[in-house]
Amino acid sequence: MSIGRAAPERRPNHPVGRVLEPLRRAIRNRLARLPAPLAEFILFGLKQAWACLFAGLMLGLLIGTKWLWDPTWPVHRYDALFVAAITIQLTFLALDMETLDEAKVILFYHLVGTLMELFKTHVGSWTYPEPALFRIAGVPLFTGFMYASVGSYMARVIRIFDMRFTRYPARGWAIALALAIYANFFAHHYLPDLRYGLFAATIVLFWRVRIYFTVDTVPRWMPLLVAALLTAVFLWIAENIGTATGTWLYPGRSPGTLVSLGKLGSWYLLLVVSFVLVTLVNKPRPPDTALADSSRVAEPGSNRAEEAVP
């Protein structure tokens, strides 16, 4: 899905930090030698990897500590994950790899996620089987960063791809839906589960919303709900990594047991909440008028990779 060049091409500005700037330029020089469609495809993957850097590092830590950690060591694995997450965030800020607004989103997500974890572990939805010093009740504090990694991805991907939105609903309606979804995560343990009604509400509210994003120079678009569903699939895969490493366990399931596909719906709804939370910090921007009104398909070879940041 794409739109044509109805306005002068622009390359979004999203710095990678002073340390990685030479690497960025070297990659762009390499991409400039490739055919434009291939260069854009590779650049898309690189930008997605950059957007989910924090999430990827956290998953890497879950896997690495699972196989390397010795339970007899004086530092618990969960505590090491907590300290590592804080260290990563401080490093990102010190090296200008993350903006202050993105750090605010991560902090907000950590608080919201920890609150949900406290409730869900209390009612027995899942457990954390290993010991930890940095914990509240049965919840290790690193878990808030797992939610924060979703918020980090959302905030970074919007910036990196210079995302713009058309037909975005009134802010009050979006917030009301996000609150209803979040409340249902708690209330369905005691009241009828409203998730199917909430699925319908997301369609009613967001089905006309398009995300305009720029990989290199040519803006393209995708329905917001399609983007949310695709992202939910990747989060479901990430959740399976978490359970496979025994970091958290569901009742009656052993490590390595595939998480139910029904969890995709939960991740989809959580992503809607996540997106609305991000918009509280970074207000959705509409695309340039000329771009939004254009209906011509982008011309092949018109987006040669040169100077944009991966």
DSSP state of 2: B
Split at pLDDT 50, 70, 90, the class of 89 is very high
* pLDDT of amino acid 14: 53
Q: What is the pLDDT of residues 244-288, one digit of tens each?
A: 898 998 887 777 778 888 889 999 999 999 899 888 888 899 987
Q: Helix, strand, or coil here: 213?
A: strand
Q: What is the pLDDT of residues 40-64, one digit of tens each?
A: 999 999 999 999 999 999 999 999 9
Q: What is the pLDDT of residues 238-255, one digit of tens each?
A: 999 988 898 998 887 777
* pLDDT of amino acid 289: 62
Return the minimum-mean-pLDDT range out of 13-22, 70-79, 82-91, 107-116.
13-22
What single string gives the DSSP state of each residue in 213-226? EESSSSEEEEEHHH
* pLDDT of amino acid 295: 39
Split at pLDDT 50, 70, 90, the class of 141 is very high
Indicate the pTM of the whole model: 0.82
- Read off the amino acid at residue 99: T
The answer to whether 308 touches 238, Cβ cutoff 8 Å, is no
Read off the tokens for 35.
């055919």
CA angle 101, 102, 108 (to 5 degrees): 90
- Read off the amino acid at residue 210: R
The mean pLDDT of the chain is 85
Q: d(Cα 288, Cα 10) in Å, to the nearest integer?
A: 11
DSSP state of 122: H
CA angle 275, 150, 171 (to 5 degrees): 10
Segment 112-138 mean pLDDT: 91
Segment 143-150 mean pLDDT: 90
* pLDDT of amino acid 216: 87
User: Which value, to the nearest 10 degrees, does the dihedral of the CA atoms of residues 31, 34, 35, 40 take?
Assistant: -20
